[in-house]
Amino acid sequence: MGLKEVKQEIINEAKKKAEIINKQGLQERAEINRELSIKIEAARKDSENEVEKYIVEMKKREISSAELRGKNILLDMKKKAVDKAFSDALKKLEKESSEERKKRFEKILARASKEMSISKVYCNKNHESDINDVLKTSRANAKISIVNISGGLILENQEETVSVDYSYETLLQQIRENLLSEVAAKLFANITGEKEEE
């Protein structure tokens, strides 16, 4: 599964979650507005003249406060949806088949070998046989070491001066950092009414 497919899957999963989050946020906002209306009506009944100024000021403050709380709730829910989408993507990568993993490892090794001479390959203990098969097939002479990563590879040159991290965690973090605004825009475009950029 390529990064493009991972990205699209992240976007699709998060869109579904974002719609649910948006509905919850709108319901909470409606409840806040309903409570605000009840407070305003009670204050209006107490006294007409002096309270009128107070009501107007209170309404402005309460509305501003409610809108701010609503926005904060919605932002928090959006962040959780994005976090969940990336977490789900990592879980899916961890569960890929041995054949998919070997193909991914071949691509990683091909890409990294353009940058450096690979002497050491660090991988997850469960993926050692897959990378061993790939190294045999490619006739690469690299030592395999086990590290605590979910998947992917970390590669190093013989002098141990150059290390390239292609672990799944690092790759997804890079996607997140580089594409977060784009992913968020696509996830929440339908909710906020903004148009997606193509």
Asked if residue 24 is part of any domain, the answer here is yes
What pLDDT is attached to residue 187? 64
Residue 3 has pLDDT above 50, yes or no: yes
Same-domain pairing of 177 and 81: yes
Do 10 and 89 lie in one domain? The reply is yes
Check the CA dihedral 41-47-48-51 and report its sign: negative
Nearest Cα residue to 144 out of 129, 162, 164: 129
Is 164 found in the same domain as 77?
no
CB under 8 Å to 3, separation ≥6 — which residues?
Answer: 171, 175
119 has a pLDDT exceeding 70: yes
152 in a structural domain: yes
What is the C-alpha to C-alpha distance for residues 45 and 137, in angstroms, rounded to an integer? 84
Helices (H), the chain: 3-46, 49-94, 98-113, 128-138, 168-192
The pLDDT, as a whole number, for residue 64 is: 87
Asked if residue 108 and residue 55 are part of one domain, the reply reads no
User: Are residues 12 and 77 part of one domain?
Assistant: yes
Q: Which domain holds residue 77?
A: 3-95+171-192
The 10 Å CB-count burial string (b at 16+, else e) for 84-102 is ebbeebbebbeeeeeeebb
At 61-76, the pLDDT tens digits run: 888 888 888 888 888 8
Residue 36 clears pLDDT 60, i.e. is over it: yes
Give per-residue pLDDT as tens, 85-110: 888 888 888 888 999 989 989 998 88
DSSP at 150? S
Mean pLDDT for the chain overall:
82
In terms of domains, do 26 and 87 share one?
yes
Instruction: Convert the pLDDT of each residue in 136-191 to its tens digit.
Output: 887 778 898 899 998 989 999 888 888 899 899 998 888 888 777 776 677 666 55
User: Does some domain include residue 44?
Assistant: yes
